A = this chain, B = another copy of it.
Amino acid sequence: MSDTVVIGLDIGGTSTRATALTLTGERLGTGRAGGGNPTSHGAEQAATELLTALRGALAGTDPARVAAGTIGLAGAARLHADPAGRAAFDRAWHDAGLRCPYAVHGDALVAYASGTADPNGTVLIAGTGAITAQVRDLRLDRVADGHGWLLGDAGSGFWLGREAVRRLLADLDTGRTPGELTTAVLIELMGSADIAARPRDTVDATIQAVTRRPPVELARLAPLVVTAATAGEPVANALIAEAAAHLAASVGRIRPAGATTPVVLGGGLLTWDTPLGTAVRAEVARRWPDAPLRTAGDGAAAAAWLAARDLAEVTDPAALHARLFPIP
């Protein structure tokens, strides 16, 4: 049996994960470090975090055995315009003792590959933002949404948080007693459920509490919606249904009617057993009844699999995928 090793990295906003695999799917090691995106963290920090994660994954493994590597990175396309970022990656790769080439792919492709070995399909990711992509020959093809919080990301964590605040402000405007969800939002933002004698003062204070922080931080209110919907709260249920409709509409913009390729769901709002995940699965199953529905898994292992499948000695990449990501 070959002693060839492949390595995969999944670089997210707050963490970097690396996995080293044999070609039979044995995990030799994993490494973990802080956020290593050169665009958001700078080239120096990116290089440091990448090296830390690589060394973790390669502990006890001779780096000369590594034949291929893949890095999954949000905004990978921007790396072409960032020579310092590319140089930082090259340096970390070299300092880890690696001499093989590596590929850089978008995080959406890596999420897709963590859900299926099929080279053609659709990936829908909803976390802080929301994006859908068609995958063709394991390359990102057409994309829908991912337009950012100001213009898009409909159905994302940002969207859920903003809509929850809107419902609170509507309660205060109309003089309705806030419900369970909007009360939870008021407490989260203001530290108490108290409403001023002039409710407009509470409206103004709520808006100020939101606008003091970067808009994207509205996403931190999304778990309140998820929790309330899990308990059956009606306003939260309505928001979850609306978010699911937005996400399914995004998929419908680029996925042909009647398509039977897999649909992979990823991102913090869809990979767990949440009301939004359930609602999106139902909506996708209704519109594409013959599509296998998959959930994204370990991104670093998926990146390593993407590296492995290009090696000549990997004759059955689907079998390797099945060993790495057994379908429950």
Contacts and interface: CB of A to CB of B under 8 A. Distances in A.
Contacts of A175: 142
Interface string A276-306: 0000000000000000000000000000000
B145 A173 contact: yes
B253 A170 contact: yes
Interface string A108-143: 000000000000000000000000000000000011
A151 B204 CA distance: 11
A210 interface: yes
Interface stretch (A10-18, A25-33, A161-169): A161-169
A179 interface: no
B151 A207 contact: yes
A152 B174 contact: no
Contacts of A148: 207, 211
Nearest to A150: B215
A192 B244 CA distance: 35
B173 A142 contact: yes
A210 B174 CA distance: 33
Interface of A: 142-145, 147-148, 150-152, 162, 165-166, 169-170, 173-175, 200, 203, 207, 210-211, 215, 250, 253-254
Of all A-B residue pairs in the complex, the 8 with the closest CB atoms, nearest first, are A144-B173, A174-B253, A173-B253, A143-B200, A147-B169, A150-B215, A151-B165, A147-B207
